[in-house]
């Protein structure tokens, strides 16, 4: 990266292409997911190293439950193992949050998530949001429900429901606005990721499958981001 490069403050990544990577190597899909988890760890550390403020990664969508039981089980097992092993919070500076629904995950996974969130609460480094059982539409519905409760409790009036309030009720209210949305794997769609937050994000699509993704490719995406002329609706 050149010294002229300005960094996006908040990057979102749709970690896609694990299944195709596995097929390409004659391996079961689970092997692609496992390799994808390793790459996630590398990219996460790299973002911390270069000073990215916030990173939100899409690990499992509200729609991914529709995959075969075998595949869902293997993804959950990899997640379980990952949560146990990868977040040795001793000496860590990353602040981890899990975003998405919490009512459909197994109890032990939820406890691991809560442990990691609690253990990293005071960390001041990279803000890492891991989206598990996450859907952008579900997130907006959740925010609307919360706003409705506030009205019912008499804490606000319906006229107080504005963009700032909804924004404060999203799962990423802790983070700066999304600057760069990156999707490897060759697909050029959003697949229900960060619908609210994407309003003025720059989209970068890459052909590389997620398990082949590297820090150099992230640098390339950041350079592409830097070449864009962001206008936010102004001149």
Closer to ligand IPE by Cβ: residue 100 or 147? 100
Q: Which residues contact 200 (CB under 8 A, 6 or more apart)?
A: 177, 230, 232, 233
How would you write 127-186 as a 3-class SS string?
Answer: EEEEEEEECHHHHHHHHHHHHHHHHHCCCCCHHHCCHHHHHHCCCCCCCCCCCEEEECCC
Q: Determine, following the binding rule CB under 5 A, whether residue 202 of this chain makes contact with Mg ion.
A: no
Q: How far is the CB of 25 from Mg ion (least distance, A)?
A: 16
Is 64 known to be catalytic? yes
Cα-based distances in Å from 174 to 53, 72, 163, 218, 229: 11, 29, 15, 23, 26
61 binds, among ligand IPE, Mg ion, none (CB under 5 to 8 A by kind): ligand IPE
Closer to ligand IPE by Cβ: residue 63 or 85? 63
Q: How far is the CB of 46 from ligand IPE (least distance, A)?
A: 19
Closest CA to 99 of 128, 72, 63, 120: 128
Catalytic residue among 18, 38, 64, 159: 64
Catalytic residue among 16, 133, 138, 179: 16
Q: Determine, following the binding rule CB under 5 A, whether residue 16 of this chain makes contact with Mg ion.
A: yes
Chain residues that interact with ligand IPE, rule: CB under 6 A: 14-20, 58-61, 64, 75, 185, 187, 189, 191
Q: How far is the CB of 132 from ligand IPE (least distance, A)?
A: 9
Q: How far is the CB of 21 from ligand IPE (least distance, A)?
A: 7
199 close to 190: Cβ distance less than 8 angstroms: no
Active site residues: 16, 64
């Amino acid at each position: 990266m050149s010294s002229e490069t300005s960094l996006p403050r908040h990057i979102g990544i749709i970690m896609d292409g694990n299944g195709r990577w596995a097929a390409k190597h004659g391996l079961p899909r689970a092997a692609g997911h496992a390799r994808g988890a390793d790459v996630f760890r590398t990219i996460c550390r790299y973002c911390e190293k270069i000073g990215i403020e916030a990173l939100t990664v899409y690990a499992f969508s509200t729609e991914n439950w529709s995959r075969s039981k075998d595949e869902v089980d293997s993804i959950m097992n990899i997640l379980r193992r990952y949560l146990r092993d990868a977040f040795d919070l001793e000496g860590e500076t990353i602040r981890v949050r899990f975003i998405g629904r919490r009512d459909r995950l197994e109890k032990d996974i939820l406890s691991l998530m809560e442990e990691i969130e609690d253990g990293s609460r005071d960390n001041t480094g990279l803000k890492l949001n891991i989206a598990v059982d996450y859907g952008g539409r579900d997130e907006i519905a959740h925010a609307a429900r919360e706003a409705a409760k506030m009205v019912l409790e008499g804490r606000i009036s319906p006229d107080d429901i504005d963009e700032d309030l909804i924004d404060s009720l999203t799962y990423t209210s802790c983070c700066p606005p999304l600057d760069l949305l990156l999707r490897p794997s060759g697909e050029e769609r959003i697949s229900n990721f960060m619908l609210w937050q994407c309003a003025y994000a720059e989209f970068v699509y890459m052909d590389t499958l997620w398990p082949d993704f590297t820090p150099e490719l992230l640098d390339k995406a950041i350079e592409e981001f830097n070449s864009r002329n962001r206008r936010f609706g102004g001149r």
